[in-house]
Amino acid sequence: MNRCLTDLCNLLDLEPLEDNLFRGESRDLGGRSVFGGQVISQALVAATRTVDAQLPHSLHAYFLRPGDMEVPIVYEVDRVRDGRSFTTRRVQAIQHGQPILSLMASFQRPEAGFEHQMPMPPVPTPAQLGDQRQQRLKWLEDEVARNPAFPERLRIAFTREQAFEFAWVDASDPFQPQPGPPQQGIWFRAAGRLPDDPMLHRCVLAYASDFNLASTALIPHARSWFSADMIVASIDHALWFHRDMRVDDWLFYAMDTPTAQSVRGMSRGLIYDQQGRLVASAAQECLMRPIKPT
């Protein structure tokens, strides 16, 4: 387990303050506010701390305000319902006395039933795609040469060690984006071995599910997170857990974007393991507002 993954596991180990009340810290990933996946995963952890013998099967979250990376986040859990099969929790993430995220999570006891799934698309394996790090560093080097005023904050964010490894099926230069089809596929896994705890793997997957969904909606418009003429932010996020998985094994994220309108872009994702099992699904709407670059 690398240093960043260890730190992520520590971030998910929330401090209990009182019954139904927890506190978590934040990390700067290079954005202007707290990474949305962090708040989602910490809110899910807070909900799981109030549930026995059930695993989360879905969550729905709204991002209400940008998170302040310098201030702890307090998570308040409302025990909405405790049922024999399903349990529901509402979580408010609070900073400066105001909610920054509101999340509903549903939990279920294990139960057998009918099964079917959409098949995994045919894609190269992570081994066939190889290590793409040198290519990405070359894109950054070229961009800095073109733009000597390139922000140091973004350079550090692009080159720092991460808690996850990624392999793009069709890697493209994020600094010189070109219009492409409304979809992308990315392999990802945690950068080290995690404990054998199904709840932890679902919470870590919730964290990782926020990577790359919003960027999918930007592809048809030749934009990326690094485009100076865009404001991009997550508005809401939904995640469904279908089957147990290990996030420290390679998972494939098949994403598409069916529509964008009214400065909002919609993205969807199906997450498969290497055996082709559909383990989770995600959906997200993001703000993608054109602005005059500064």
Q: How far is CA 159 from CA 2, 137, 155, in A?
A: 15, 7, 6
Q: Is 234 a known active-site residue? A: yes
pLDDT along the chain (294 residues), means of 10: 92 97 92 92 98 96 96 98 96 97 97 96 95 90 90 85 94 93 97 96 98 96 91 96 98 98 98 98 97 78
Buried b (16+ CB within 10 A) or exposed e, 57-95: bbbebbbeeebebeeebbbbbeeeeeeeeebbbbbbbbb
220 DSSP assignment: G
Q: Are 120 and 154 in contact (CB under 8 A)?
A: no
Domain ranges of the chain: 3-110+126-290
* Alpha-helical segments (H) within 80-191: 126-129, 133-146, 152-159
The closest of 59, 158, 54, 45 to 105, measured between CA atoms, is 59
Q: How far is CA 9 from CA 62, 203, 267, in A?
A: 23, 10, 27
* Strand segments (E) across 4-95: 15-18, 21-24, 55-63, 73-82, 86-95
Angle at Cα 239 formed by Cα 41 and Cα 48, nearest 5°? 45
Q: Is 102 a known active-site residue? A: no
The CATH class of the 3-110+126-290 domain is: mainly beta
Q: Is 210 a known active-site residue? A: yes
pLDDT value at position 294?
64
Q: Which of 41, 42, 106, 234 is catalytic?
A: 234
Q: Are 232 and 224 in contact (CB under 8 A)?
A: no
Q: Which of 210, 248, 267, 281 is catalytic?
A: 210
